[in-house]
A and B are shown apart, each in its own frame.
Chain A
Amino acid sequence: MKGAEALLKALEREGVEVIFGHPGGAIMPVYDALYDSPIRHILVRHEQGGIHAATGYARASGRVGVVMATSGPGALNLVTGLADAFMDSTPVVAITGNVPRALIGTDAFQEADVTGVTMPITKHNYLVQEVNDIPRVVREAFHIASTGRPGPVLIDLPKDVQLSEFTGTFQVELDLPGYKPTTKGHPKQIERALDALEKAERPVLMVGGGAQHAHGELLAFAEKTGIPVITTLMGLGAFPGNHPLWLGMPGMHGTVAANRAIHHADLILAIGLRFDDRVTGKVSRFAPHAHTIIHVDIDPAEIGKLVRTHVPIVGDARSVLREMLKGAKPLKLASWWRQLEEWRTRHPLRWKPRPHLQSQEVIRAFAEATGGHAIVTTGVGQHQMFAAQFFPVTRARSFITSGGLGTMGVGLPFAIGAKVARPEELVIDFDGDGSFQMTLQELATVVKYKLDVKVVILNNGYLGMVRQWQDLFHAKRYSEVYLADSNPDFARLAEAYGIKGVRVERKEDLMKGVEAVLNADGPVVAEFKVYHEEGVFPMIPAGGAAEDMILEHPEEREEVEA
């Protein structure tokens, strides 16, 4: 058995069923072995599409996503996707070929120091020097990627190692003396947290992506205590978006109710989130009345990194919530809820109706037509925020977006990965005309594997989020954001790939368009030409605080807010 076959055997032993990838010279022995392997391979058109698809697969399934690429340029095309997976704590294993060991460090053809380059954006990485190390390295890589705070791990495999005769064993013991994540929360701290919670008058529960797997416990805990729940962009779906205890998303484009709740809260119970600046705004003005902040996170380095923490609990969200559930009592929050209800009913998410078709109503129409029952992926930009605001997902692992890195172009490959992971689900990619064009070549992957994904492009002819910032903070100097003069006809582009194309330009055709997308038998690319100068509101300007929230465009304000 050659090293390449040993690699695939080791992957099989980890339960890998599918690899997203693109072949090339330095990984060819593995692709040769793949020819006889039961592992399915999805050929993407760009390695970036491959890693985003693996990320989408991992996010939708909770399992480790696997991507493969060749050395040098192939491996370096993974960089953005690795950083994206790292920022959003996604378990991904990337396998890259490298030049033969004898050529490493000689500036050989297609050589790059991939382990060096990816060091800051992976949880760990390996350069395999000995063929018999392959099973151990694969075992460790999957263990590291999927346990503790999940993250991407890269395995770089020189070509001659892939071709060497494997004489080792697959029976390997994990021996990682420096890696022992704490999963069980400290009982004393949990007790302190429960005591503080019981005394709190205005508590809020903030939930991030680290609690996606704890949705059952979260629901039980919230319902038992009656605490209001806020989910971050990464936490969307971890708590049902149609639940009466849910206040929405916090932060820059969060709801008034969520942001005011945090601003006025006397206690914050934060679970599986890292207090990103898009959530906190200016940290020194974040939650000024919270005399108790309880932070539950599996990564000790996140606790106290940005926000002062009074009760730190290092542990897995699910395990900690189970423990907390045992001692939790119904809280007396009637007057707090009266206040929250007032904010919620007075300032719901809304948009200013215009004669033109609008992104918000397109997303709302899809949400209503599907009952929120779909896996939503998004690119990055205004459409992403509109999707987060107006498509309230009800189930965990159903809102897949690039939170930390904000990577444009992830929407389509995320959708591909999600569809491969959960083929029975309806998968909708809400994308922007700018974002979609960063990875649109993956339409070929959609065609090749007959993946039934629905791509909904909200085409406003602009890099809309940049335009919005230029509008508000750069005196409307719209520098290099206009796309409409050079955008393709997206419906015809889809047709060129053999995919059904839909175009909707007028408000009155909205429902017809939604039905055309949802009733299509197979993949669709639908272009909705939306109002070109829409802004995402509410908005807290970067570096602002909850009190600085802008509810609508300053020039369109009708009433002065109290």
Chain B
Amino acid sequence: MRHVISVLVQDHPRVLNRITSLFARRGFNLESLAVGTTHVPGLSRISLVVSGDDHTLEQVEKQLNRLIEVLKVTDHSEPHVERELVLAKVHVAGVEERLAVKDIQEAFRARVVDVAQKSLILELTGDSKKIDSFIEALRPYGILEVMRTGAVAMSRGERTLKVREKREAV
């Protein structure tokens, strides 16, 4: 089963290395990983997409928690918002193709961020399934390049990845 996990970590060198090497050596299946800073200096937040059964997921969380620089781990089983960004460069041979691609762009509410003589770069944000469909829709026109960021996630409502009572929520 697919799980999205958020991990709050201290922003130290090699912390990402610790996490990925943990997945590699314990045989956990990591589908995507996205990292960024937070509004709190010194803290970064990682979104992981992992597949596995309940037992595997329990171990993923527990083993992540063993890492000294990991402050908090949450498996987003509760209602949450999930987004991924994709940049797709599509080959457009002529006017006809350009119009067809534009139809897809409108249907998915994507944006054109670069226009060249024979190619377009489209940008789209959405959950991973939507991105998958978008790429499939573009495929017949000749995809030149695709760059996906991997999913990022956040719980809905009041729930936050709290560090400590006193510290600001992240």
Contact = CB atoms under 8 A, between A and B. Distances in A.
Contacts of A176: 68
Interface in A303-354: 304-305
A475 interface: no
A404 B156 CA distance: 44
A554 interface: no
Contact of A179 (B13, B22, B68): B68
Given A120-B21, A301-B62, A178 B69 contact: yes
A59 B118 CA distance: 70
Contact of A177 (B14, B17, B71): B71
Nearest to B70: A178
Given A119-B18, A120-B21, A299-B66, A177 B10 contact: yes
B88 interface: no
A105 interface: no
A124 interface: yes
A311 B170 CA distance: 34
Nearest to A124: B68
B64 to A, nearest CB: 9
Nearest to A299: B66
Contacts of B59: 301, 305
Given A177-B164, A301-B59, A115 B65 contact: no
B81 interface: no
Nearest to B10: A178
Contacts of B67: 178
Given A178-B9, A178-B70, A300 B14 contact: no
Interface string B4-22: 0000011001100110011
A116 B17 contact: yes
A362 B65 CA distance: 47
A123 B58 CA distance: 20
A126 B167 CA distance: 26
A124 B62 CA distance: 16
Given A301-B62, A301-B65, A177 B25 contact: no
Contacts of A300: 62, 65
A7 interface: no
A115 B62 contact: no
A144 interface: yes
Contacts of A124: 68
A127 interface: yes
Contacts of A120: 21-22, 25
Contacts of B25: 120
A115 B68 contact: no
B63 interface: yes
A115 B17 CA distance: 11
Contacts of B62: 300-301, 305
B74 to A, nearest CB: 14
Interface in A26-41: none
Q: Which of A115, A124, A177, A304 has the most CB of B within 10 A?
A: A177
A133 to B, nearest CB: 12
A120 B67 CA distance: 11
B163 interface: yes
B91 to A, nearest CB: 39
Interface string B34-71: 00000000000000000000010011001101111111
Nearest to B12: A126
Interface in A96-131: 115-116, 119-120, 123-124, 127
A119 B16 CA distance: 12
Given A119-B17, A177-B164, A178-B71, A301 B66 contact: yes
Interface string A172-210: 000011110000000000000000000000000000000
A144 B68 contact: yes
A99 B166 CA distance: 41
A125 to B, nearest CB: 9
Interface string A273-315: 0000000000000000000000000011100110000000000
A116 B21 CA distance: 10
Contacts of B69: 178
Interface string A45-85: 00000000000000000000000000000000000000000
A177 B58 CA distance: 22
Interface of A: 115-116, 119-120, 123-124, 127, 144, 176-179, 299-301, 304-305
15 contacts: A124-B68, A144-B68, A177-B10, A177-B71, A177-B163, A177-B164, A178-B10, A178-B67, A178-B68, A178-B71, A300-B62, A300-B65, A301-B59, A301-B62, A305-B62
Given A178-B68, A300-B65, 8 more contacts: A176-B68, A177-B163, A178-B9, A179-B68, A301-B62, A301-B63, A301-B66, A305-B62
Which 7 pairs of residues, A with B, have the shortest CB-CB distance? A301-B62, A178-B71, A124-B68, A179-B68, A178-B70, A120-B25, A178-B69
